[in-house]
Amino acid sequence: MIDKNDENLQIFIDESLEHIADIESELLAIEERGANIDDAIVNKVYRAAHSIKGGAGFLGLINIMAITHEMETILGKFRNREIVPEPATIDPLLMAADMLRNLINNVEAGNSYDISEPMNALLSVKDGPPKDTEPESRDAAVPPDIAEIQFPDGTGGFQLPFEKLRSYRNADKRIYLILFDPADPQITPDELKNAVDSLEQCGYMEASSPDRDRFPLHPDQQTAAEPRITILYATILTPEDLNILLKPTPCKIYEYLEGEGLVPISELFETAPVENPDEDRTVFPKTTAAPEDIPETPAPAETNPQALHDRVPEISAEPSVDSKETVKERKSDSGKSLRVNIGLLDSLMQLAGELVLSRNQLIRAISRSERRLLEVCGQRIDHITSDLQDAVMRTRMQPIWNVFGKFPRVVRDIAQDLNKKIELTIEGKEVELDKSIIENLNDPLTHIIRNAADHGIESPETRRMAGKDPTGRIMLHAYHEAGQVNIEISDNGKGMDGGRIAEIAVQKRLITEEQAQGMSLREKLELIFLPGFSTSRSITELSGRGVGMDVVKTNLERIGGVVDVDSVQGQGTAIRIKLPLTLAIIPSLLVADGDERYAVPQANVMELVRIPYSKIKNKLEYAGGAEVIRLRGRLLPLMRLSHFLGSNDGRKNTPQTPYFGNGENAKDTEAMLPVPIDAAGAKPLNIAVVTTGVFKYGLVVDQLLDTEEIVVKPLGRHLKECKGYTGATILGDGRVALILDISELAGLSGLSSVQDEHLEIEQWKNGVRKAEGAQTWLLFSNGGKEQFAVDLQIVERIQKIHCRDIEYTGGRRCMAFRNTTLILFDIADVADVDAFKEESDALALIFYIAGMDVGILAAPPVDSVETDSRIDSGGFKQPGVAGSIIINGKTVLVVDVFDLAETIHPEWFSEQKAAVGLQKNILLAEDTKLFRNQMKCAMENEGYRVIETGDGAEAWECLTSRHDEIALVVTDLEMPNMDGFELARRIRDDARFGSLPVIAVSSLEGGEDIQRGKECGVTEHQVKLNREKLIQSVRRYMPC
């Protein structure tokens, strides 16, 4: 009986779902107001429920009708102040709304659903104890003025006090006069009874003739003296609604309008829809105008003035335009039609018109072969195309509220179930996203919100004990940023325990113990995205549905999203999702492998690195047989696109032994080398550093080309199963380029986030690194005579700048950079060297000092050199300069950036020093200031607090006076006054420091020193210039 393809049914479904979404949020609003009922909201819900009921009645959906009917009854009682809206009474309504949604989503099976649960709940509310204020009491007052309501033919009439009339009007109600003729053979008594019952449920019978109890509702009463029934009826129903309500029963309906008297309703419809101020500016589809037409169109849903307010006609999306296909397969078959603002359609139409004009112009220009005219046409078409693209895209845009809207309910339900107090704040609900993205955001977001409410927010008692507000807060915030949409879900709950997460991951054999130890807090948190990770002890009815965060991540990736997590134990968790605005058009980086071009979505691209051929030898390293480079001190696993594509098979010769690389390592890895090293041709190594959201890797390509906005097109079925591509696009020259799927690429090449860590540890274990004592220096000048060097490891990045961008504020140099102010120093600000010369271009070497980026001005070019020369801190030492070093036979000044910054801004560092509090500290003993500063900053950047001392004696003094504040000692071995060996021995000999770990650092790796240090009680030995390893080692001993 129910035809799924019926257009009317589809319209009913779309509109009903919209109504339900409204109903839910409005019910919550009603609940919040409690006894202080806002009639406007109640009426709105009432009308929504009624519209659904009307449509369902028309389509024969009995279950939906039954539920909406009971909902109406209860809402009516709210309005009459018979029932107070409170959780106990709102719950069944919400339950009913849920059931409605189910029923509507599965319309075919809807009539066979078991709806007893919500029905019973609704009925129990309806039959509950009525409130004491009875509506009848209001009738008691006798008003002075009385309105005479008479039939147009003068055959009958009622009297209605004006005051009452006014009170109805204030309550948004209308007055109708309804006539039934029981003598009409078309009316069966049953129908009449139904009609009267419906009327009673939907409004108030102000008066009737004959009296209500004397209605001839039974066949045997048909002979009653009264020839007909007249009812004066007050209701919030609109005339259309009323018509539907009484549809099967022939009757006459008049509406009473002040000043005009009775107006027959059918006339009102046809001639004067303007009568209703709500509908003033709405376009009435012609079919809904006459009540007789109702069977053809499910008018009820249309009758809601709210729904019509946006002037939204239906247009169905062309299937090929629907980017659904671009996103792999999707099961949901909802959303086959789309509501589009008429204004937008108009502008589309206009653009199409312009396009036609331009085409004509173009044809003329071609036939006359007029170059100038052609150019003009080209420009014009260019404009129109981009406008058109924009407009078409906007038709697919929907406010994110469509997803967010349900979360107040989700959070409320969880809070009630778990006796928690949770406040949900939603920001940016107007942010718009592509329809297909919106549709696929629902599940991941629900999961995250549930997690936050269920696991994140603690019970009110726990919160109170922790000194927090007993009401937990969840923030849902959407905003635009750099052409993407960010969604942030944060809570102020208990946060996540990185250590515990790592433990579980180890237990589940997702990572090894050693890997866990080397991980930073953030890396540990990101373990929750690993497949198979689900904190088992936290599975509850609510969020433990066997769906882990890995599914959330995969689902988001499928729609081009990137997710990351941040958490502070005890303070809360924040999950950030970055989404593209649309899936149909994405900014992409084009790369080339051989002759073929490929597109990489810009969202995945972090940065581009090019290693000149001459440097490949130094930069490309091998760890456990895998190619890696060091990118700012971190290992970046490399993946060759040509290897993935298999395009270099047979094209390039495979050398028997690696061409370069350090010899001893090569022996181990020879057999496993995945890619032959490109010996032919002096080509640079082009790397696109890409991220999957969880980890980064370097995609090695033949060429890095342009970035371009590409239109995503789906691939045919033969290529659907072929992993590694998300789709294809057509480039400017008409050729097709495949779009690479960065995550799948990593998976197919055996890279994974774990392997990322694995590499690091593997390398650490094998000691693959080059001569440990050697250090890489960045050589630069500031345009003056001197050459400077700075430890490359502490350089965050190098930024090209224009000197004209440099501003002078408060006597200091700075420049605007990515919405922040970058402070710039010249070495001459502190040290006695030549001053920086402002020419057209310059470089800023960016360092991370005291919690911010600071730039040091340099003149290009810069160079990096590896040397094991020692720093001579003799003759050249001065503020900002640690000493000198001989590089390539030249004396170079070694810059101590931390000292430089401290000399100019001592206040940056004093704040940090003052911040010693509850947290345990690291005691650092080191006599060379340059190294001390570097190690200190390295540790502070990781969030540790450091107490610095200049030698062993100072350290010992500090340790004995503040022993309970210190959790770890990091000491140099060679120091004046008291050396590291002695310090370690004293620590071990003192019972107070029995278990205090001591990390010894030295500038050189000497087996002898290590042995001697061990004997003295040193827990671990590290090379001080190797920041990474030092930090890893510190992490092992410091609590997170």
Partner 1 sequence: MNETKTNSELIEICTFYLRNQIYGVNIQNVREINKNQVYTKTPRAPEFVLGVMNLRGRIVTVIDLAVKLGLSPSRTTSETRILIVDSHNEYVGLLIDRIGDVVSAPGADIDPPPANLDDVAGAMTVGVYKSPGLLINILDIDRVVE
Which residues of this protein are in contact with partner 1, per CB under 8 A? Answer: 596, 644-647, 713-719, 722-725, 727-728, 730, 734-738
Query: Edge to edge, what strands does the sheet with 572-580 contain?
Result: 422-427, 472-481, 484-491, 572-580, 562-568
Beta strands at 596-601 and 585-593: parallel, antiparallel or unpaired: antiparallel
The residue to which tokens 């088992």 are assigned: 536
Beta-carbon contacts of 851 under 8 Å, excluding residues fewer than 6 positions away, are none
Give the residue from 797, 795, 772, 798 showing the smallest Cα distance to 1030. 772
Nearer to partner 1, 624 or 724 (CB): 724
- The phi and psi torsions of 880 (rounded to 5 degrees) equal 85, -10
User: How far is C-alpha 832 from the chain's CA centre?
Assistant: 51
Nearer to partner 1, 567 or 749 (CB): 749
Q: How many CA atoms lie within 13 A of 1015 on its CB side?
A: 6
d(C-alpha 690, C-alpha 605), whole Å: 4
Q: How far is the CB of 886 from partner 1 (least distance, A)?
A: 51
User: How far is C-alpha 646 from the chain's CA centre?
Assistant: 36
Whole-number Cα distances in Å, 144 to 147, 162, 164, 168, 465: 10, 8, 11, 17, 63
Nearer to partner 1, 278 or 706 (CB): 706
Nearer to partner 1, 738 or 1034 (CB): 738
d(C-alpha 656, C-alpha 321), whole Å: 52
Give the residue from 895, 802, 811 showing the smallest Cα distance to 849. 895
Instruction: Give alpha helix (H) positions in 292-400.
Output: 299-302, 305-309, 342-368, 371-395
d(C-alpha 316, C-alpha 297), whole Å: 17
Q: How far is the CB of 971 from partner 1 (least distance, A)?
A: 55
Beta-carbon contacts of 426 under 8 Å, excluding residues fewer than 6 positions away, are 404, 407, 408, 476, 477
Give the residue from 55, 398, 426, 104 showing the smallest Cα distance to 245. 55
- Which amino acid would we find at residue 162? F
Give the residue from 401, 420, 528 showing the smallest Cα distance to 474. 420
- The phi and psi torsions of 276 (rounded to 5 degrees) equal -90, 115
Instruction: Please name every residue paired with 688 in a beta bridge, in sequence order, or none if there are none.
Output: 608, 699
Beta strands at 703-711 and 585-593: parallel, antiparallel or unpaired: antiparallel
Nearer to partner 1, 54 or 727 (CB): 727
**Residue 608 has which token pair?**
């581009």
Give the residue from 899, 938, 925 showing the smallest Cα distance to 1027. 938
d(C-alpha 231, C-alpha 374), whole Å: 75
d(C-alpha 400, C-alpha 421), whole Å: 25
Nearer to partner 1, 153 or 333 (CB): 333
Nearer to partner 1, 240 or 702 (CB): 702
d(C-alpha 84, C-alpha 130), whole Å: 9
Concatenating the DSSP letter of every residue in 143-203 gives PS-EEEEE-TTSS-EEEEEHHHHHHHHHTT-EEEEEEE-TTSTT--HHHHHHHHHHHHHHE
Query: Edge to edge, what strands does the sheet with 634-640 contain?
Result: 605-611, 685-691, 696-701, 634-640, 626-631, 621-623
The residue to which tokens 């004990």 are assigned: 465
Nearer to partner 1, 514 or 744 (CB): 744
Contact 550, 792 (CB under 8 A): no
Q: How far is the CB of 716 from partner 1 (least distance, A)?
A: 4
d(C-alpha 858, C-alpha 780), whole Å: 6
How buried is residue 40: exposed, middle or buried, by Cβ count under 10 Å (0-12/13-18/19+)? exposed
**Residue 466 has which token pair?**
């922790």
d(C-alpha 822, C-alpha 289), whole Å: 65
Rama region for 888: left / alpha / beta (φ>0; ψ in -120 to 50; rest): left
Nearer to partner 1, 641 or 968 (CB): 641
Contact 19, 51 (CB under 8 A): yes
Q: How far is the CB of 296 from partner 1 (least distance, A)?
A: 31
Nearer to partner 1, 738 or 1038 (CB): 738
